[in-house]
Structure 1
Amino acid sequence: MVGVDYFIGSKQVFVDFLERIKPEDKIAILTHIDLDGISSALFLEKILESRGHKVEFLDFINYQKGMFDKPIKDLRDKKITKVFLTDINADNFIDEFDKFRREFDSLLIDHHPANSELKNKKNIIKTISNDCIGFVMYEYGRDFFNTEGWEWLLDATLVSEFSFKNKKHMDYLKGKYSGIGEGDPINSEPGKMAITIDYALKYDDDFSRVYNLIRKKDFDSLRKSYSVVNGEFEKLFFKYEKEAEFYSEKRLHFFFCKKPRFNVTSAVITAISKKNKDIYCIAYERSKGFVRLNFRNQGDEEDMNLLVKKGIAGLDGSTGGGHFNAAAAMVKKEDYEKFKENILR
């Protein structure tokens, strides 16, 4: 395996923060609700355990306005003094992130593009998009614990995060698994594991339970939810193919649906985008008065992160961001058509 590529910070930033942890410190990890968030938190926790540190609080959060509101209360209640944030696009909400950093001694380890308004880069590690944080923490972990027996989780994360679009990760996967060519390895052994964990997270609202099943390598329990979630996935996939609007001048597909029973929208839009290099969007009313939009594109010409930022321009209360090939936005329901106009301009 080859090393980590950085935009901001380095491994030394992590080591320095780790060295400053005292025996009396109380440690928390805040991480994203997906496979990369799970794997990065798990590898980080094992690093901390190797140093004799206990994680007092572990929480899973989504990227959205106000995402720190509840965790801050929990961190205060538990008298947390050191916080690790993994795979969280925190600086996309720069004012909230700055407020959080003023109160808590924290380290952000993330692979989303940095906000242009980010000025204070202390205790921040930003890697290239394809170097997902599960990969980063696994690489760091080599110096702290025996990583043998955990490659299956790393490999599933590399597939889930499309890290294989980077040659170094694709070469690694091809060298390890027979049958993986230059295309999408989703049908490979790690690809199937990635789907299994993703479906378990969509089925079970108790993310800590799923985390512990992964930590215990309880694969049978993880697989129990597969068939029911996959049924919802297939239903929405075929509905998208049949009903999506197509704007030929932009090579853009738009589809608005009811909120599904399980949150399979991201999986559906990812799967359907593999058909060609068009831009695909799926939207649904996520919470009262707000619409969530997920964008995917398998080409290398249109930046989805910049596209959603174009869409939310001038829309009060809207948020958006992500990666080059995958991004998301949240807009008020009454601004949905205006968002589309911005995108189509």
Structure 2
Amino acid sequence: MHIINQELVDRFIEFVHNIKPSDKIAIFYDNDSDGICSGVLMFKALKLLGCTPIIFECAPHDEPKYYEETMKRMSQKGINKVFLLDLVVEQRHEVMKQLEKFAELVIIDHHPFDKNLTSKKTIFIKPPLYVIGINSARYCTSKQVFDLLSHVIDMSQLEWLAVMGIIGDYAFESWPDFLEHCFRKYEIKQEPDIYQTQFGKATRYLNYVRTIDNVEVKKVAEELLQIDDFGTAFSILAKYQRIEKVIEDFIDDYKKHTEEYPEKDLLIVHVQTSYKINSSVATQLSRRRFPTKTVITYYFTDGHVWISGRRQDGKKDMGDLLKKCTKGMTDSNAGGHVPAAGCSIRKEDWPVFKERLIKYSER
């Protein structure tokens, strides 16, 4: 991997160097392991630099008006520096413009994008804008945050957070040297399946937290802020292993909830449970049982449908598929990578979405 836009990296470095203790900082992060680890890394680094953020929140996927409602609160608190991590905010570019009226923004993410939000008030960082030699989807946000902050401060004691972000976003094949170093450093036994290692298990448990709600995600993220070592983090996260049984039980009975279209290599799975295991079920069904099929999972809540798409063989671009299926739909939001993506639509648009999904799922 090589940096091809040092100017962008330098702009980030200068921005962080110039933050003062009097600045009022907000950090917003996604609710998966990559997003959580990104947020914790950023918070810890800023605190080491003497600048403690006053807002540290997980940005929910299932509250369409969240940013608009939060903007008023930020303005009232006098927020003037905002970090948005592992969040696809380009689809809310008008909201970002409103934020620029009272704050400077740093957006760090690795999802595909069709709009560059770079401006005098916004530093917009995505892999294609400054590096070559790596799959952009695999330069996950937590590793970017770790690498970028390493230009400013010694981050070596926080490597375990970057590892969990990498594993959580299935980016481990792109970082063999870094992971080898960390497994040795933390004296963790390696396994053929990285998810069976201590790092892998901790990452799985961290990902399960979001199946409860965003309040629980925020609680765990704030606990991680107080932790300096991986062993303690593992102990805290281990209690979420219980959710694994809920996921496994659902997968064992997946046929009861599934519409299969063999001629389309397509499965549509309704995942309506007490936990929000939609994304986890999609991932596990795709990885373990149907790597050469398109797996779509969904659930209903508050007038919306929340949808996850997975495919492991790369023959279908999940991000592109979901964007095509939601095109022109009011209050829709879609994005992601080739193997994994997600979207939300209004409940009344589900029949049209499903019709498009079947149509576009050609072999």
TM-score, with length taken from structure 2: 0.83
The correspondence for 2:292, drawn from 277, 286, 292, is 277
CA deviations 1:210-255 (Å, max 9, x no partner) are 013223234333222322x122212222232444212223211101
Larger proportion of helix = 2
Offset of residue 179 of structure 1:
4.4
d(CA) in 2 for partners of 1:187 and 1:254?
28
Offset of residue 87 of structure 1:
0.9
What residue is the counterpart of 2:235 in the other structure? Answer: 220
d(CA) in 1 for partners of 2:41 and 2:240?
25
d(CA) in 2 for partners of 1:102 and 1:185?
45
d(CA) in 2 for partners of 1:70 and 1:293?
24
Pairing 1:213-252 to 2, within 5 Å after superposition: 213-215=223-225, 216=227, 217-227=232-242, 229-252=243-266
The answer to whether residue 137 in structure 2 is matched with residue 129 in structure 1 is yes
Pairing 1:113-124 to 2, within 5 Å after superposition: 113-114=112-113, 116-118=114-116, 120=118, 122-124=122-124
TM-score, with length taken from structure 1: 0.88
d(CA) in 2 for partners of 1:200 and 1:318?
25
The answer to whether residue 315 in structure 2 is matched with residue 333 in structure 1 is no
What residue is the counterpart of 1:18 in the other structure? Answer: 16
Tell whether the 8 Å contact from 2:295 to 2:309 is kept in structure 1 after alignment.
Answer: yes
Residue correspondences, number? 335
What residue is the counterpart of 1:173 in the other structure? Answer: 179
| Root mean square deviation of aligned Cα | 2.5
SS at match of 2:315: coil
Offset of residue 37 of structure 1:
1.6
d(CA) in 2 for partners of 1:61 and 1:119?
19
The correspondence for 2:30, drawn from 17, 29, 32, is 32
Unpaired stretches in structure 1, ≥5 consecutive residues: none
Amino acid at match of 2:60: N
Q: Which moved more, 1:90-99 or 1:298-307?
A: 90-99
SS at match of 2:137: coil
Tell whether the 8 Å contact from 2:29 to 2:59 is kept in structure 1 after alignment.
Answer: yes
d(CA) in 2 for partners of 1:173 and 1:57?
31
What residue is the counterpart of 1:187 in the other structure? Answer: 196
Tell whether the 8 Å contact from 1:68 to 1:100 is kept in structure 2 after alignment.
Answer: no
What residue is the counterpart of 2:150 in the other structure? Answer: 142
Offset of residue 293 of structure 1:
0.8
Q: Which moved more, 1:307-316 or 1:215-224?
A: 215-224
What residue is the counterpart of 2:281 in the other structure? Answer: 268
d(CA) in 1 for partners of 2:117 and 2:280?
34
Pairing 1:30-179 to 2, within 5 Å after superposition: 30-63=28-61, 65-114=64-113, 116-118=114-116, 120=118, 122-127=122-127, 128-166=136-174, 169-173=175-179, 176=183, 179=190
Tell whether the 8 Å contact from 2:17 to 2:152 is kept in structure 1 after alignment.
Answer: no
Q: Percent identity, please.
A: 25
Unpaired stretches in structure 2, ≥5 consecutive residues: 128-135
d(CA) in 1 for partners of 2:342 and 2:29?
18
d(CA) in 1 for partners of 2:261 and 2:319?
19
Tell whether the 8 Å contact from 1:29 to 1:83 is kept in structure 2 after alignment.
Answer: yes
Tell whether the 8 Å contact from 2:149 to 2:155 is kept in structure 1 after alignment.
Answer: yes
Q: Which moved more, 1:304-313 or 1:129-138?
A: 129-138
Tell whether the 8 Å contact from 2:37 to 2:164 is kept in structure 1 after alignment.
Answer: no
What residue is the counterpart of 1:196 in the other structure? Answer: 205
Amino acid at match of 1:37: G
Pairing 1:305-344 to 2, within 5 Å after superposition: 305-344=319-358
What residue is the counterpart of 1:208 in the other structure? Answer: 218
